[in-house]
Chain A
Amino acid sequence: MKTIAHIIRKEFIQLLQDKKMLRLSIFAPVVQLIILGYAASFDVSNIPMIVCDFDRSPASRELIRSFSCTEYFTVVKYCESTSEINSQLDDGKASVALVIPNDFEKDLGIGKATPLQFIADGTETSSASIGLNYAFIIVSRYSQKIVLESLIKRGSTLMPARISTEFRVWYNPELKSRNFMVPGVLGLLLMVMTMVLTSLAIVKEKELGTLEQIIVTPIRPTQLIIGKLAPFFLIGIIDVLLVVFFASLIFNLPLKGSEVLLLSLCLIFLMTTLGLGLFISTISRTQQQAMMTAIFFFMLPMIFFSGFVFPIENMPKIIQYISYFLPLRYFFVVVRGIFLKGIGIEILWTQALAMFVFGITILSLSILRFHKRLG
């Protein structure tokens, strides 16, 4: 026990000596949280729209207004010819275009179906599909209004039935991407800071040959590992506190669920990232190898396949199965559940169990491998 305390002390002294590294471990999470929180947004608003109004009638102007008065579309330009639509969309200055035909108002008056063209730039698929949906809804409402107005004009007292919809959005009523992304950043940061740095720290000793010096001392490999992991465990905990603090300070993101639960599940998650870091160190000879292995075989798949940005349920089945082996997948459900939904262990226990099993497995596997290599 005493030996472990000594080793941990030595590791901490080493960590504190590297001032640049220390500063970066505190500074980096905050900067990343701010950038991700502000920039990682799918919110579709102010889609730049170009309008080709060939009718120039009160009716056409009203239709345009029903587009521009929503927060979804902003008219950036009125144009005279359809060829201008081409160049505006090509240059990316506008993303959608509305073409109102010549006889728009006349046709509406006599009840003839009037064609209305709406063009969307499909390169940004998610904005395009959401934009199309909104456009469809705006036009349907306008259509219904025209019908009702013409009924009233003809003196009808009987009105046709209508369906209204009452939408309620739970957990994130304003549908802010930020509320979804910021808790996710916590998982991302913990992975980057603990997994790769752990593996580099251990491989560094291998590369410089200092690991051999330790081996000839009576220190046991398990003690050595605990000593190596301890500083990164602490950095992980500090990062958790920093993210939770700044998430509420800067982004007003309250923690709906229990702090204790969040912290304890973070600790379980840290077990998996530290275990993975140790594992990477046992399969790498140089820091360069460790870094590349960590980034390409662990970090990138975890970032993309764990549901940080891209929903897992839309992925091909085989990738969905792979994602069950990524601890980050479970952690995202945990942080988002606790932050946004305020749910407790009675729902999250499956995720916690999965992370725990993964953590124990990878840690024991790596310790075994570590022993074998030293022996």
Chain B
Amino acid sequence: MKSLNVFPIVRKEFRQIKRDKRILGVLLFIPALMLFMFGYALNFDVKHTRLAVYDEEKSRTSREFTQLFFISEYFDYIYTLQSKSEINNLLDGEHVRAVLIIPSTFSKDLQKGNSTSIQVIVDGANSSTAATVLGYINSIIQQYSLKVMSQSFMRLGRQQLTLPIDFQPRIWYNPELKSAKFLVPGLIAFILMITTVISTTLSVVRERELGTMEQIMVSPIKPIELILGKTIPYIIISLFATVMILVLGYILFDISIKGSVLLLSLVTLFFLVGGLGMGLFISTLVETQQLAFMVAIIVSMLPTFVLSGFVFPIRNMPLIIQGVTYILPARYFLVTLRSIILKGVGLSAFWDQAIVLFVYAVIMISISSIRMRKILK
């Protein structure tokens, strides 16, 4: 039985990659650079929100109350409004995100023991920021409300009020709620998915467009040899990029691998081969490089960004879309990455994900070989 003759093609591909310094540089170092930039820049923290206050009363109590907002790190810019008509312009021009309106009877009501109402207007255009800001404002007001309650309690001549419930929130896995810990595993999956698909997606179609495919057709190369020969160099390159990403994640973002490194490497290998196989498959499917690019973006970049759970929780999506997410390899890879890196759990928690990734890689390589056979004929 003749063994597969892959080596010459691997060597040829390597030579070709080496010749284009820019592409080699991009594939080797850009993934790490992207992790560095995005990891630092992207976060969901809502801090230093600009807030305007319209204080109809201007009393000591109302000033004390507004002060509470600015001693927290969440709000830091204060616009004191002179009239209500300014609100429109401030919100329209995005000068402030929220406006607090304190009624003219604020301190009087509180003294008399009446209930008083504070109006809060929030710019809801960015819904997630708005929800967070609403939450902050609400909890500051709640705290103040409890304080007022216990003060008026004492004034009523009772013993000091102890709050009936001592609320003890705890956050697991990521106690400081650093977005980086959530985003970096997602970024790794996203970056690797794009790099792998993109590195092979032009490989076959390029040879067809430039006419070099005919030369291959007349040679005795088997389709599977050609596919493997075009994949292996990129596996090596993307493994290198992965190692750099993980090291950088450890150095910069303190993302250490809590679980098994061996398992992580194995699952990563499956994922890389799957991505490269997908790129190859696209490449065998279309006739022009432009089209290959479009298809690659549509099937890899956007879905990985939106549907893999990288940024948007899959749980919140409509059921049909949730179904769609199951065909994305990044979804499985992300679960595995987060389990290994953040939670440090073992194979038992994600073996099913690993199997899916393995099957995915096998399918991608096989269907590209089948398509390749058609092209070569």
Contacts and interface: CB of A to CB of B under 8 A. Distances in A.
A204 to B, nearest CB: 7
B44 A310 contact: yes
Contacts of A45: 316
Given A132-B171, A288-B206, A168 B302 contact: no
B171 A122 contact: yes
B20 A286 contact: yes
B144 interface: yes
A287 to B, nearest CB: 4
What is the interface residue range for chain B against chain A? 35 or more
Interface in B135-193: 135-139, 141-146, 148-150, 152-153, 156, 161-179, 181-182
A229 interface: no
Interface stretch (B109-117, B234-242, B267-275): B109-117
Interface stretch (B7-15, B243-251, B284-292, B360-368): B284-292
A39 B321 contact: yes
A204 B289 contact: yes
Contacts of B175: 122
B306 A311 contact: no
A21 B291 CA distance: 6
B167 A118 contact: yes
Nearest to B22: A289
Given A133-B139, A147-B149, A304-B42, A90 B349 contact: yes
B128 A126 contact: yes
A42 B313 CA distance: 7
Interface residues of A, number: 119
Contacts of B373: none
A225 B28 CA distance: 33
Contact of B202 (A41, A125, A288): A288
A114 B162 CA distance: 10
B174 A28 contact: no
Contacts of A146: 164-165
A115 interface: yes
B104 interface: no
A295 B44 CA distance: 24
A117 B161 CA distance: 21
Main secondary structure of the interface of A (DSSP, over half): helix
Interface in B190-229: 194, 198, 202, 206, 209-210
A80 interface: no
A179 B130 CA distance: 13
A252 to B, nearest CB: 15
Contacts of A177: 127-128
Given A43-B316, A163-B145, A286-B20, A296 B34 contact: yes
Interface string B332-365: 0001001000110100010000000000000000
Interface stretch (A1-9, A49-57, A336-344, A358-366): A336-344
B91 interface: yes
A7 to B, nearest CB: 19
A201 B290 CA distance: 7
A315 interface: yes
A113 B48 contact: no
A287 B286 CA distance: 15
Nearest to A203: B289
Given A160-B148, A168-B119, A291-B289, 13 more contacts: A24-B298, A38-B317, A41-B316, A41-B317, A112-B162, A119-B169, A123-B342, A125-B178, A133-B139, A161-B149, A165-B118, A171-B124, A286-B20
